[in-house]
Chains A and B, each alone.
Chain A
């Protein structure tokens, strides 16, 4: 078992349940209503399903893709009842959502760079990750490579204190690539297991800022050729279709290896991640369910889908 698995084996099921409750309820009640009293999937049910998916930010294209699949199956099987629709939806969405590969974190230090647009929850996610790793006995070094935003370093250092991770920083306005380099160097010297690199929020359409990310990657490679071993793209769960453009641009500038969807403790559903995971072939690794240090869960595809289409809720 990988140490990631070990760390997350004490899954906070309550958090997931609490956080996804609203998602679940609304998704279900709608689907439930769409199906109530029907014995087969007809035009009206598909229309309502479309409404449910679009309202969850799944997006027009992905929604049509899902609905087409279902229509095809209905045409083939001639008849489909509510229960069948249910499990088929789960299957079809499951196909689109990529699962994280089993990572072999044999290398030390294992470098994770965190990227994303402004305010999505990068720094908070780093705080939560550091806590998880430290809790499992891993030594963590954090690199404060957001040298731009007001008090970004102070914010990160609060998180580092909370998790007892070591923070490597330079002054405001310093070269982020140089901070990342320092962090790696310190991690090697101190034999840290994990390095987490926080980066400044940047909108994906700003070419110079995207180039800066590529530069940070390049500079880290001077010390550790395989670094960063992981690049986590953070997506705000309440973001709509623009998240596709974000994924496209960040994937172009860096080697995105996984997604984290934050703020799913709100009413937003994060449905856009289905299409993104499918289109860009990137797995969803974690979900953020609050502002507390414990409010991060590894993404469990089955649990995620199950929480959308729980059998017991279909009447």
Chain B
């Protein structure tokens, strides 16, 4: 599913290739594919249309640099525009007021109660706050018990008024309780409600007016489809919320709803929820989300990082070697040295679209480099070039020379095998394109 867009764009870019300038005609097909990819990612129909129009405006007349494929130029424009729309950078919550009152609202089952627990845990463990959770969902069976269990797991007190069926009464008393007990953050969990349910929307509006929350957060399931805009808009009209929480991002949804919501309500996404456990909360990174919607790994930062760090000549040689399929342990060694300059290898490989999945099973930790280098240095030049000749006797010698064990030598050989296989997989059209871009960019930087 994630590779879908890549394929689609690849196809579209073939049409653009070999033309010097982006024109109305050569961009049309590409934009159609971009639009389709956005729709497949659940970006709202209208939003996708507006978005592609904007891309068209920005792309038309742009000179395609000889070293850059037109397709790549458009990817970059699309990507930058997406990041921009996602809000550019993360926006936090101001917790300076005591107590800071946070109201949690959203549709049924979106993850409000779980998120309330997560936020409380986050504030207590990371920000040294003393939060109070408030159980104001009197409708869903066992909603109060649920919050109580979560509070118990993280040792955060939960305010309940079991005999009350009135959320307004509960929240009012909870605020008093919070003040008396010196809680500096009060998090109010409310019942799920549909935007078209007038009675329930009136109720949350009343709660909002009564407690004057410093922060109202709209919690939305990242898997939501076209309807996301309606709901986000309706809740915004009633509550004028400060931020959005995107949940269930541990799934494989592309999360186009995020883009739709951003563009219709213009409120920042502040947190993401990515798991059922209470630790699974993170602040929102617009860039990551943009890439996720496009389903394309962190291409741009990979390219940029590579530009900064990669030695141009070496990269070109490496590319040629990979292309010829005679990648050796010496190349591996050089690459390790390059990569050490660039940061965590797994992260880096993860940024290459499609490679993220493959590298998951390969153990490439930073601290394993030292040992790896020692093992390679203990090989003869011939062994480095033709690893196949390394038999048991040679393994023993190498292990001894590097101060490791046969098992570890074998592990590296296996790793190398996987690595070369990976390299071969990079021989796919896209893999080649990636490497070309990297080298092309590097050429650009120098001239």
- Identify the A interface with B (CB < 8 A): 22, 51, 54-57, 59-60, 117-121, 127, 148-151, 154-155, 157-159, 201, 203-206, 236, 238-243, 245, 263, 265-269, 272, 291
Is B211 positioned at the interface, with any CB of A under 8 Å from its CB?
no
**Residue in chain B with minimal CB distance to A268:** B227
Q: Is the CB of A272 within 8 A of B225?
A: yes
CB distance from A148 to the nearest CB of B (A): 7
- Closest Cβ of chain B to A46, distance in Å, is 15
The verdict on B221 contacting chain A, using a C-beta distance below 8 Å, is: yes
Q: Complex Cα distance A49/B42, Å?
A: 18
* Cβ–Cβ < 8 Å partners of A151 in chain B: 142-143, 145-146, 148-149
Q: A118-B109, A119-B110, A240-B224 are in contact. Are A265 and B194 (CB under 8 A)?
A: yes
Q: Is the CB of A239 within 8 A of B141?
A: no
Report the Cα distance A243→B253, complex, angstroms: 9
Closest Cβ of chain A to B10, distance in Å, is: 18
Checking A150, A238, A243 against B150 with a beta-carbon cut-off of 8 angstroms, the contacting residue is A150
Q: Which chain B positions have C-beta within 8 A of A243?
A: 223
Cβ–Cβ contact A245 & B252, under 8 A: yes
Given contacts A204-B251, A238-B224, contact A59 B196 (CB under 8 A): no
Instruction: Take A154-B142, A203-B251 as given contacts and tell me if A266 and B42 are in contact as well, using a CB distance cutoff of 8 Å.
Output: no
**What residues of B have a CB within 8 angstroms of the CB of A159 in the complex?**
141
Tell whether, in the assembled complex, residue A149 and residue B142 are in contact, meaning their CB atoms are under 8 Å apart: no
B123-163 vs A, Cβ < 8 Å mask (1 yes, 0 no): 00000000000000001111101111110010000000000
11 contacts between A and B (CB under 8 A): A56-B226, A117-B248, A155-B141, A203-B248, A203-B252, A205-B251, A238-B221, A241-B254, A242-B223, A263-B109, A272-B225
Interchain CA distance A106-B11 in the complex, whole Å: 54
B227 touches A236 (CB 8 A): no
| Smallest CB separation, A306 vs chain B (Å) | 22
Q: Known contacts A54-B39, A151-B142, A263-B108; is A236 also within 8 Å of B194 by CB? A: no
Residues of B within 8 A of A245 (CB): 1, 252-253
Give the interface centre of A118, A157, A204 by most chain B CB atoms within 10 Å. A118
Among A239, A241, A268, A291, which residue has its beta carbon within 8 angstroms of that of B40?
A241
**Residues in chain B near residue A150, CB distance under 8 A:** 145-147, 149-150, 153
Tell me whether B195 and A267 are in contact (CB under 8 A): yes
The verdict on A54 contacting B109 (CB below 8 Å), with A203-B250, A266-B196 known, is no
Q: How far is the CA of A272 from the CA of B141 in the complex (A)?
A: 29
